[in-house]
Amino acid sequence: MLRHIWVTPKQFCELTKLSMDEMNSIADEYGFVTKEENGQLYLDLMDFGYVYKTGHMINRVDLSKRYEPFTEDDLSA
């Protein structure tokens, strides 16, 4: 199973649709860039996938909306 890949910062930004500043802050905060060499980033794909999916899900939730707690009917559906 492929666990790590080398990508350029430009490839990373194209893949994630993030700006360079966003990429740097996320990579530093979550640590999925394990090495940087010759202008390329060595990504840990498992850590990156988790962070990217979680971030994508969080961005899709409307935080201004009030969500009601689950009821027994919701859980049985």
Global confidence as pTM:
0.51
Edge-to-edge strands, sheet with 40-44: 4-7, 40-44, 33-37
Q: Tell me the backbone φ, ψ of residue 71, rounded to 5 degrees.
A: -115, 175
> pLDDT tens string for the chain (77 positions)?
678 888 888 888 887 787 888 877 777 777 777 778 888 888 787 777 776 676 666 666 666 666 676 677 766 65
Q: What's the rounded Cα separation, in Å, for the pair 39 and 41?
A: 7
Give me the pLDDT at residue 58, please: 63
Longest CA pairwise span in the chain (Å): 56
Residue where the block lists tokens 């802050």: 25
Contacts 24+ apart (CB under 8 A), 29-38: 34/4
